[in-house]
Amino acid sequence: MAAPEKPLHHLTIHEAQGLIRRRALSPVELTTALLKRIEAVDSRLHAFLDLAAERALAEARAAENEILKGHYRGPLHGIPVAVKDQLDLKGLPARIRRRDSKAAQATEDATAVRKLGEAGAIMLGKLMMSSLPEELPQPRNPWDLSRITGGSSTGSGAAVAAGLCLGALGEDTAGSIRNPASLCGIVGLKPTYGRVSRRGLAPLGWSLDTCGPMTRVVEDAAYMLRAIAGYDPKDPTSIDIPVPDYSATLKENLKGIVVGVPRSHIEECRSRTDPEVLTLVDKAIEEMAALGARVEEVAIPTLKVATIANAVIYYNEHFAAHRSENRTLLKNAGTARRARIYLGLLTNSSDYIQAQRIRTRLREECAEVFRKVNILALPGQPAPAPTFEETGALDTLFKHLAPDFLAPFNLAGLPAMNVPCAFTRSNLPVALQLVGKPFDEAAVLSAAYAYQQRARWHEQRPPI
Amino acid sequence: MEKRTEEALRALLARAGIEVREDDIERFGKLLDTYTKALELLHSYDVGAAEIGPTFQPQRTLPED
């Protein structure tokens, strides 16, 4: 069987799984190539927090033996992936959980990590994230090393875009999968709240936190979601709904699909959105129409207060979740982390209850809209990646206090996916966001897949 | 930082038994003032008869580890 024509680190999961299944590519060869890639570029990117090279190679050898004996587990078997530090990985420190970087090691894998292992994926290690208790070099955007990746799944965005892993797990509380996916030119999926277990995920906001895949192409996200989704009796918020084979329902057109565009909300965000981004996203929506979709304007009035409601719930729950550490963190933690503590402290119960009532209204309005449309389409980001110099330590927190494109769908708990839709004149990625009704990740993935197959922005690679 | 925000923050910190870093008052003043104004907007929004949805499922019991 012919060897792949491109460097191994440029393979998608879909491409690699075909080669591995046919025994044209060894998991050991693939993992070794990625470890070499990490060695070659990560000193500039700072994507990895803790690399588990020995574990990865041992898992790769085990995967190879299994496959050679005819025991092929599925599309993730032998595929090297990595996870955001927020997810527990057995034997490695969970730095987000402790001030001390030599903190006690996790005693078991998070459920989502365990499920990736059961699917045969190879675990490369833990990836950087924003707002760790200790100040560490922040990951660089592979498209332009002077620019940020967006957070808080910063390392996941950089690693997938630069080919340091074939897929990653991120986590999204107020846009933290979709934001770096947009800025790094990759696909990021925030599943429905309750679709993926939160067991072993360090909490930021209990009723918002959602773990999901970050990959280069949509079909890879479908593979990863199928592996990690499902009921977990050890997570009280996990929902017992069957997990479909998401990759089996991907289609290459949008015939019969109705796409809703919340124009008044986009207008509400216009003053804080780069005009070039708006133009490019509008063009992407036109391309969806060319693929057969019917595009309609929809109204979701509560979107205008949804971002601040999400922030209120996030900061209040975050303060409570870290109550025992807050005194220490206020003395020693980084700027953004300390700010979040003060914001949580300033939030009282009537604020939290009002935010939860807004949440109910938002869900009702979205449910009504989804009686008429299959998915929503809107921008995945307000602007291309800024430089580190342009970025203040509190910028993200200020953004959480005004209407935006991402946080409302954390508040509503809906599945939301960002897919690359263009590049700016400065060659920086721009993303389209697609949102579905609860537990309809299949519709979101299928629409994103159809768009990506036509637009093919994923074929461009960062210069690193 | 506006006086009322600072007074509220100091009272809440005292109640929580946490000492404020004095340089944080200046550093985070604008952010916390912006947040206080955003909370006013939050409360001005008419939510009608909306309730908070259930946040737990009483029929579920945690399995023994």
Does B62 reach chain A within 8 Å, measured CB to CB?
A: yes
| Chain A: closest CA distance from residue B24 (Å) | 8
Sign, CA dihedral A21-A22-A23-A24, equals negative
Per-residue confidence (pLDDT) for residue B1, from 0 to 100: 85
Distance CA A330, CA A133 (A): 10
pLDDT score for A304: 96
B50 vs A364: CB contact, 8 Å cut-off? yes
Query: Could you tell me what percent of chain A has a pLDDT over 70?
Result: 98
pLDDT (tens, 9 = 90+) of chain A, 464 residues, equals 445 578 999 999 999 999 999 999 999 999 999 999 999 999 999 999 999 999 999 999 999 999 999 999 999 999 999 999 999 999 888 788 765 555 668 889 999 999 999 999 999 999 999 977 777 899 999 999 999 999 999 999 999 999 999 999 999 999 999 999 999 999 999 999 999 999 999 999 999 999 999 999 999 999 999 999 999 999 989 999 999 999 999 999 999 999 999 999 999 999 999 999 999 999 999 999 999 999 999 999 999 999 999 999 999 999 999 888 888 888 878 888 889 999 999 999 999 999 999 999 999 999 999 999 999 999 999 999 999 999 998 999 999 999 999 999 999 999 999 999 999 999 999 999 999 999 999 999 999 999 999 999 999 999 99
User: B59: exposed, middle or buried (C-beta count within 10 Å: 0-12, 13-18, 19+)?
Assistant: exposed
What global pTM score does this model have? Answer: 0.95
In contact, A139 and A391? CB cutoff 8 Å: no
Catalytic residue among A26, A130, A131, A152: A152
A176 catalytic residue (yes or no):
yes
Contacts of A403 in chain B (CB under 8 A): none
The Cα of A404 is separated from the nearest Cα of chain B by a number of Å equal to: 14
Token pair listed for A385: 């990646």
Q: How do beta strands A258-261 and A429-435 pair?
A: unpaired
Averaged pLDDT score across all residues of chain B: 84
pLDDT digits (tens, 9 = 90+) for A137-147: 999 999 999 99
Contact residues on chain A for B55, CB-CB shorter than 8 A: 207, 356
**Chain B partners within 8 Å of A363 (Cβ):** 53
Cα separation values, A309 from A77, A144, A151, A288, Å = 41, 34, 20, 31
Residue B45 φ/ψ region, left for φ over 0, alpha for ψ in the -120 to 50 degree band, beta for the rest: beta
CB atoms within 10 A of CB A436: 25
Nearest chain A residue to B17 by CA distance is: A327
